[in-house]
Structure 1
Amino acid sequence: MLLLDENLSPKLVARIKDTYPGSLHVLHSKLDNSPDIEIWCYAKKHQMTIVSKDKDFLYFATQHGYPPKLIYLTTGNVKLAAIESILLENEAIIKSFIKLDKEGVLKIG
């Protein structure tokens, strides 16, 4: 479902697993320290939505379109609990975004 970029804590996966089952961190996918394009291709191949604060993924979304979809977090540097709250509080919006085939980028924060 969700593929969390390395700029997010791997601990986040356990904290959102009930809401977003099947989500992974790039570390769990052996993609830590991989170029962003490899993460992009992995997400596309496995039908996952990338969650990131990295502007490079916005570039990929503009250049390559979707899939994969991107949830771009506009929060800046915040604590793990803040990211967790954003993902959990926006569950309906995120799940609708993933399901519908209208847009490739969702900016939340």
Structure 2
Amino acid sequence: MGLDNSPDTTIWRYARRHGYDVLIKDEDFLRLVLSEGFPLRVGAVQNAQVPVVKLAEFLLTRLPQLREFLGAQTEFGMLLLRLG
């Protein structure tokens, strides 16, 4: 998508424009929820400043919860997961 070094607002607006859900570990994106509104849905991982392997393991253990949240449900716009 070519957004690797883009500002958060650019990524946010791209996700909204293209109907993407967002999984984040950057708390700056949480501020965008207040100022810009939701893309479809936002999954936020707190305390995620860990090695990628540990973050991947954590997300894999939460996969059923993530699938339910990102599946057909449209009632909730944010899922907050806390690592550690």
Q: Is TM more than 0.5 here?
A: yes
The amino acid that maps onto 1:73 is: V
Cα RMSD, aligned residues only:
1.6
TM-score, normalised with respect to structure 2 = 0.79
- Partner SS, residue 59 of structure 2: helix
2:23 alignment partner in structure 1: 51
Query: How much does 1:81 deviate?
Result: 1.3
> Aligned equivalents of 1:44 and 1:57: distance in 2?
13
TM-score, normalised with respect to structure 1 = 0.64
Q: Which runs of 5+ in 1 are unaligned?
A: 1-28
Structure number with the bigger relative contact order (C-alpha 8 A, sep ≥ 6) is 2
Question: Are positions 1:39 and 2:20 aligned together?
Answer: no
Aligned length: 81
Query: How much does 1:45 deviate?
Result: 2.4
Higher helix share: 2
Query: How much does 1:66 deviate?
Result: 2.1
> Aligned equivalents of 1:89 and 1:47: distance in 2?
26
